[in-house]
Each structure stands twice: as structure tokens, then as C-alpha cells.
Amino acid sequence: GEDVEQSLFLSVREGDSSVINCTYTDSSSTYLYWYKQEPGAGLQLLTYIFSNMDMKQDQRLTVLLNKKDKHLSLRIADTQTGDSAIYFCAERDDKIIFGKGTRLHILP
Amino acid sequence: NAGVMQNPRHLVRRRGQEARLRCSPMKGHSHVYWYRQLPEEGLKFMVYLQKENIIDESGMPKERFSAEFPKEGPSILRIQQVVRGDSAAYFCASSPWGEQPQHFGDGTRLSIL
């Protein structure tokens, strides 16, 4: 069945780059998304990529898609304390399937 | 330009009562989705609605749960005879049409006593 896997925790020093990885199983996914969730809040759409793209860059965010390996990554450059949150990878074919989220912790 | 509005933000019910969760989509969005998030888990799809139609309810429990999106007014997720296991955060999302990215509300946190 459809499944999205991501590591549960990541610790990064302030100012370094954060790379959050995700793997998915549905090769017919049309969109792949990254959402950010801060405590007590809903999900904020950070960025998304069409399945026919390899890369998308948006300011400090870079998304890389390896469709052959079904691997998606989110790189956050110059990580700040405000980036501390849970990041959800999601794939979409007819419905959106979410991973369990990666909790990003920023070290001073 | 208001986002997706959900209310109430927090809802407390006793076992056996009914819970009604409301969602007003973003202006111009006619597609609504409901998700459930258990603690330390991702979001699980429940149901996808357009105005007056249920498009996909494959994630809805077979009993006690229902959803509607009337021609006028918000979408409602209704849980009858709530049990402890219904305690979760329920999120609504909307999009202008089915293929577009979904924008989420801040959720309703349901607690069952």
C-alpha cells in the first residue's frame, strides 16, 4: 500500500543546513509536499514539487526529488531557531498520504 | 484574506456525547478535506468533500462518523457517541480544485473525558 517514511528526529546547529529526508512508495504520485507544523498549530504548506521535476528552490528551501529511488529531501539553509518545528513529507495521487513527521531541533 | 477557519479550537466531550467540528474553507475554495492526527503521528485522511457531495470517504470509520459540506455554510464533521479513542486533533484543509495544494486550518483538539 501507500506509505511515506521519514526519520523522526533531527538536531542541527543554528546557522548550519538542515536536510530532512523522505521516501515514498507510490510511483504514480503527482505532487510531493513539505509541510511545517509548529506546536499547537495546523500545517503550513512550505513548498511542493511536481513529480516531473528534479529540484525546486525557494529562498532558503531546496527540494530534491529522485523519482527513480522515490526519495524526496528538504534542505533548509542557514537554519534559524524559528525553523524548529515538525516537518511532514506528503505524497499525492488521488489523496494525500503523510509521513509521521521529522522533529527538527535547533542547537545554539 | 482569511485562511481556513476551524472552530472550536478545543472541544471537550464526555463519552457518549456528540461532537461537531466546523470548517470554513478559504475564500474561493470549494474542496474540503478532513484529517485526524493522533499524538506523535502524522495526519490520516478521513474524507474529501465538494459542495453538497462526498467525493471520497475511504478514511472515515464506518460507524458514528459523518461529514457534510452544504451549499451554504461550513463543512461539519460529526462524531456521535464519542469514545476515548476519538481524542485527537482534527484538521480541515481546502483547495480551489482537487489537484491544487491544500491549505490547512489550525485544527480542533477533541478531548473525551
Shortest CB distance from B91 goes to which of A40, A43, A45? A43
Indicate if the pLDDT at residue A107 is higher than 80.
Answer: yes
CB atoms within 10 A of CB A39: 7
Interface of B with A in 55-94 (CB under 8 A): 56, 58-59, 91, 93
Of A72-76, A96-100, B43-47, B99-103, least confident by mean pLDDT is B99-103
Which stretches of A7-101 are assigned E, i.e. beta strand? 9-13, 18-24, 31-37, 43-50, 55-58, 61-66, 71-76, 85-92, 96-98
Indicate if the pLDDT at residue B56 is higher than 90.
Answer: yes
A36 → chain B, closest CA residue? B104
Amino acid letter at A51?
S
> A53 vs B65, which has greater pLDDT?
B65
| Residue bearing cell 474540503 | B32
**CA atoms of A55 and A72, how far apart (whole Å):** 10
A-B C-beta contacts closer than 8 Å: 48
Chain B contact set for A42 (CB, 8 A)? 4, 6, 91, 104-107
Chain A contact set for B43 (CB, 8 A)? 43, 88, 98
Indicate if the pLDDT at residue B94 is higher than 90.
Answer: yes
Chain A contact set for B44 (CB, 8 A)? 98
Of A48-57, A69-78, B29-38, B95-104, least confident by mean pLDDT is B95-104
Shortest CB distance from B103 goes to which of A4, A45, A100? A45
Inter-chain CB proximity B40 and A30 less than 8 Å: no
Question: Is residue A44 within 8 Å of A36, Cβ to Cβ?
Answer: yes
> B110 vs B28, which has greater pLDDT?
B110
CB atoms within 10 A of CB B110: 21
- Residue B39 pLDDT: 81
Confidence of residue B86 (pLDDT cuts 50, 70, 90): very high
Indicate if the pLDDT at residue A72 is higher than 70.
Answer: yes
**CA atoms of A35 and B104, how far apart (whole Å):** 10
pLDDT single digits (tens) B1-51: 579 999 999 999 999 999 999 999 999 899 999 999 988 778 899 999 998
Shortest CB distance from B45 goes to which of A41, A95, A100? A95
- Residue B100 pLDDT: 75
- Residue B41 pLDDT: 79
- Residue B33 pLDDT: 94
> A43 vs A29, which has greater pLDDT?
A43
